Chain A
Amino acid sequence: MATGRAYPNGNPALGYNPPGVRNTDSALPLHRGKPVVHDYACDGPAPGNLAFRWTYGSNVAAKNRDPRVQVVQYNEDTFVLRQNVCVHWEAPFTYLLFGNKGALLIDSGATANPAHYPLRETVDAIIARWARMRGRSKVPLTIALTSGEDVAQNQGLVQFADRPGTTIVPRPLELMKRFYGLGGTWPAANGRIELGDRTIAVIPTPGTHKDGVTFYDPYCDFLFTGDLLFPGKINIGNDRDFVASLDRLKAFAGAQSVKWVLGGHIEMMFVPGKYYPRFDTYKPYERILEMGPAVIDEALQYAREVQGKDMMLIRPDFVLFNGVSPDQRTKVWPEGVPNINAPRPF
């Protein structure tokens, strides 16, 4: 009774639901016998939000003390991870999705060294916590890349090499096609990754990379487009493939509901048509990550415009580079777009 008087509302040092307890303030069910099975069927996109500002580096990169991996939870089964800009300027986004039978990690960051970029440690911690909440002892993990050849997305893969219960989609193009069952039908057909009541569609989208794929999550209604379509400088690898892939993506988005297109990076500023140069480690005026589905139509329209030409083309939410250096500049400004210069944070 003495303890009861000291902590009339429960001892905060104790964990939730200790054995033998009969009443609890926790929302978690008591004495759960079976793992929680989540119902992923819902009308429209699953609720969630990206409620935090992304870390954006610092003027002096050596003094940056932001987290190396920024974790933002979109909803309880969807996580967005971002690499710190001062660890690698590409600052790629990595997505972690959970279903009733497993988890999917989309992309793996730009740095292999776990001391600099502890992706594995972070993912393990998220999965362990999620598994505890759901009463699961095992969560099989699949790791898939939006492009196996992209060094801004495949470097973290080595951290998972010896991870138990992990399937890594093979990186070589032919093996990857076979893994998705697309050996003969690439790029016309779609593959799938089953997470348990949450089936991720795999859409072949070569164009920026010859092994590019886009993932579609029917629970949150997201398209994970990687380097194909993101708010930044899109370096087209092959313009014919790029147009064809956007065409397929448009058809796919027309048949499914798409809430957001989520790319692999942010390079645009929040003023239209302005972007950060490569290798920048301080991006305080970044655009937000998410883009509406209309961006697919716009990208397709302007991809057709640059097709067959060596040129760059500025749009408010992205810039296309076809056959030119990634550092190419242009004096051509898109008509009807306000030309605003963000202040220089110096």
Chain B
Amino acid sequence: MDRRAFLSYNAAVAAIPLTSVGLTGLADAAAAAVRPTPIDFKSNLPAQGTFPARWICGSPSCMDNTDPPVHVHWYNAHTAILRQNKAYSYEAPFAPLYFGNDRVLLLDEGFVQLRNDWDLRGVVDQCIEDWCKRNDRDPASLELLVAFSHLHDDHYAATNQFADRPNTRYMGLTHEEMVGFWGMTNYPEERVTLDLGGREVLIWGSPGHVISEFAYYDSYTQILYTGDMFYRGRCYISFWEPWFDSMKRLIAFCDTHPVTHVMGCHVEISKDGQDYAYGMTYQPDEAPVQMTVQQLREAYAHAQKITKPGIYFTGTVFLCNQTRGTTTIDKNPYRYS
């Protein structure tokens, strides 16, 4: 909504006689009082869903980008996946939005802080409103949980946009607050269950990229969301031992639970395995964000052979073992002898 529309919008609201406002208000309250039939998130699992054939992936000229600031993709009727526009931030993280009967979980808040630069809050509010309209709910009755995968600013920058949102809780920006948010006492081994109202999300620690990171498993779509610890791109492994242990936990989880997709926060590889260098704002031939359990297992098998720092390609992802400060994949194309 631009400034002009904003002003006229308010004027229109003010023009409505007070009595009718009171009446509609009462009608709304009455509708909310009747609790709608809860959505069944427990049968016919996994819930089917689709990823888009193509995500927005930047443009040759950033200032001529015509894509929306946030690409909203409804994976299915109760699951949205958001992606930040590359012309708003090159990190362009993916952020799932899971709807339950009582609450909504937003994982990750992108890399732009201010609402007038990048209105994530407005987009999320709109998603919640759309979902409520489709399912005959009152948006005010839903609690929003604003959480993030790990403690890096390209994943929580926009958190403050939700600070004044009613019926909202957001994760703090320290390790203790993050662990406390999910009520964990034994990080990272402990696995907790978040009930969104009939829809359960399993959460456990997944350190390695950073110490403060979680894996999220949605029991409805059975998507395993692995954050920056495992994604299709350069997995910067800062701490090898914790990372390897986290991989073991992921594999053990996949052994005992059905997983439809493994999903990371970014994509930095083309469909034919070409690396998109750090910071690029245009990835025209981007690989899909979702990966299979098999690809996770292959990466784990590959990781078992790694003994030294370095960059290893598993066929799906680059494992950058303790190399972030010193090495990269890209080469100077103009070298000659």
Contact = CB atoms under 8 A, between A and B. Distances in A.
A45 to B, nearest CB: 32
A78 interface: no
A325 B330 CA distance: 6
A62 B87 CA distance: 5
Contacts of A116: 60-61, 63-64
B281 A279 contact: yes
A331 B325 contact: yes
Given A279-B279, A281-B62, A327 B330 contact: yes
A60 interface: yes
B305 interface: no
A48 interface: no
A345 to B, nearest CB: 11
A236 B332 CA distance: 8
Interface stretch (B31-39, B112-120, B213-221): B112-120
Interface stretch (A80-88, A179-187, A264-272): A80-88
A150 B334 contact: yes
B283 to A, nearest CB: 11
Q: How big is chain B's contact interface, by range?
A: 35 or more
Contact of B335 (A150, A237, A279): A237
Contact of A325 (B87, B89, B117, B328): B328
Given A277-B279, A279-B280, A279-B281, A61 B334 contact: no
B90 A346 contact: no
B62 A235 contact: no
Given A64-B62, A279-B90, A325-B328, A149 B334 contact: yes
Contacts of A278: 277-279
B60 A281 contact: no
Interface string A258-288: 0000000000000000000111110000000
A84, A116, A208 pick with most chain B CB within 10 angstroms: A116
Contacts of B325: 329, 331
Given A88-B61, A281-B62, A237 B334 contact: yes
Interface in B73-121: 85, 87-90, 112-113, 117-118
A326 B330 contact: yes
A179 B228 CA distance: 53
A331 B324 CA distance: 12
Contacts of B65: 61-62
A61 B277 contact: no
A330 B326 CA distance: 6
Contacts of B185: none
B63 A61 contact: yes
Given A149-B334, A325-B331, A60 B112 contact: yes
Contact of B278 (A68, A209, A277, A330): A277
A116 B279 CA distance: 20
Contact of A115 (B64, B153, B277, B279): B64
Judged by DSSP, the binding face of A is loop
A209 B281 contact: no
A279 B61 contact: no
B26 interface: no
Contacts of B336: 210, 237-238
Contacts of B21: none
A111 interface: yes
Given A279-B279, A280-B279, A238 B337 contact: yes
A113 B153 CA distance: 34
Contacts of A63: 63, 117
A84 B279 contact: no
- The winner among A59, A61, A238, A323 for most chain B CB atoms within 10 A is A61
Interface string A192-213: 0000000000000000111000
Interface in A139-173: 149-150
B12 to A, nearest CB: 28
B303 to A, nearest CB: 23
B329 interface: yes
Given A60-B117, A62-B69, A87 B326 contact: no
Contact of B281 (A59, A61, A327, A329): A61
A325 B118 contact: no
B326 A329 contact: yes
Nearest to A64: B63
B174 interface: no
B278 A86 contact: no
A208 B327 contact: no
A56 interface: no
Given A111-B60, A279-B277, A325-B329, A60 B118 contact: yes
A117 interface: yes
Interface string B208-231: 000000000000000000000000
A325 B332 contact: yes
A325 B335 contact: no
A326 B280 CA distance: 13
Interface string B36-75: 0000000000000000000000001111110001000000
A128 to B, nearest CB: 26
Interface in A94-145: 111, 113, 115-117
26 contacts: A59-B112, A60-B89, A60-B117, A61-B63, A61-B281, A62-B65, A68-B63, A87-B63, A87-B64, A116-B63, A150-B334, A209-B334, A237-B332, A237-B334, A237-B336, A277-B279, A278-B277, A279-B280, A281-B90, A323-B335, A325-B327, A327-B278, A327-B328, A327-B330, A330-B326, A346-B153
- Please list the 9 inter-chain residue pairs (A to B) with the smallest Cβ-Cβ separation, ordered nearest first: A279-B279, A61-B62, A327-B328, A62-B87, A116-B61, A86-B63, A64-B63, A237-B334, A325-B328
Given A113-B60, A209-B334, 9 more contacts: A65-B63, A68-B63, A208-B334, A279-B278, A279-B279, A325-B332, A328-B327, A331-B325, A346-B157
